[in-house]
Each structure stands twice: as structure tokens, then as C-alpha cells.
Amino acid sequence: MLELKLDKPFRCFANIYQARKHNDLMDQLKKGEWPCPKCNVSGRIIDPNAQCDPAEGYKMADRVTCPACEGTGRWTKKKFHAWYKKNYSDKYQEEMKQWHKKQALLKNIKNKLAQIEIEVLIDAFRDTYGR
């Protein structure tokens, strides 16, 4: 049976510790240390003025000291937490809030339609949007 449904928002990280691990790709952090997500603990970033090589991209570009951590590759937990909250936690919660609102609306819509009407709508959307 065809069904009208909304994709649930994607959650990148279950928690701040998973985000910490993701930003420490080379497993360099010691206990109690927190990564700089701008340089992934390396302390160096691609020179913002570097030219993109048509063949190599930025692979061979010069690296400069990461301004976000001044080359240490580390942030305080407080700073990392604020970054995580802004970029992931708050964003995900807002997306979930919107998703729940839309779910409620969709339930109301479905209650007003017969199954055959839902199937016609799905066909119409699939033809238009290819989903």
C-alpha cells in the first residue's frame, strides 16, 4: 500500500562525545581535551588564499596556522559545546519540532482522504518530483 510520509530529520551525532570523536579523525586527543572542529585537531588549515589546482584541487595547497585555535588543534569543552549546540543540537531540535508539526498536519490530511485519493496524490507527486 502506498503511503504519504515525511522523511524524519537526519541526526549527525547522537551526542557531543560522538561529535568530539568525529572531529578527532587521527585519534590524537587525550582525555579531557576537546577538538577544534575547524582544523580537526591538526592546528593547520588550507590557506584561504590558495588557488585551486585543476588536477589536485587543494591537496597540495599551502597550510596555515588555524586561526580558530591558534594552532593548538584544541578548544575548551565550553567552546566546543557551544559550537556543537549551535551547529547540531539546536538545529536538530528545531528540525524535529517542525517535523512533528508537519506529522500532525499530515495525519489530519490523511484522515480526510480515502486511500485511493492518497494513491492518486502520490502518483501525481511522483510524476512531478520523481519520488
| Residues engaged in binding Zn ion (CB under 5 A) | 36, 38-39, 66, 68-69
- Supply the minimum distance, in Å, between the C-beta of residue 53 and Zn ion: 23
- Indicate the residue among 19 and 66 with the shorter CB distance to Zn ion: 66
For residue 55, the tally of other CB atoms under 10 A from its CB is 6
- Supply the minimum distance, in Å, between the C-beta of residue 61 and Zn ion: 17
- Supply the minimum distance, in Å, between the C-beta of residue 110 and Zn ion: 49
- Indicate the residue among 18 and 45 with the shorter CB distance to Zn ion: 45
- Indicate the residue among 79 and 110 with the shorter CB distance to Zn ion: 79
- H/E stretch holding 34: strand 34-35
Q: Write the DSSP string, 54-87.
A: TTTBTTTS-EEE-TTTTTS-EE-HHHHHHHHIII
In this structure, are residues 38 and 79 in contact, taking their beta carbons and an 8 Å threshold? no
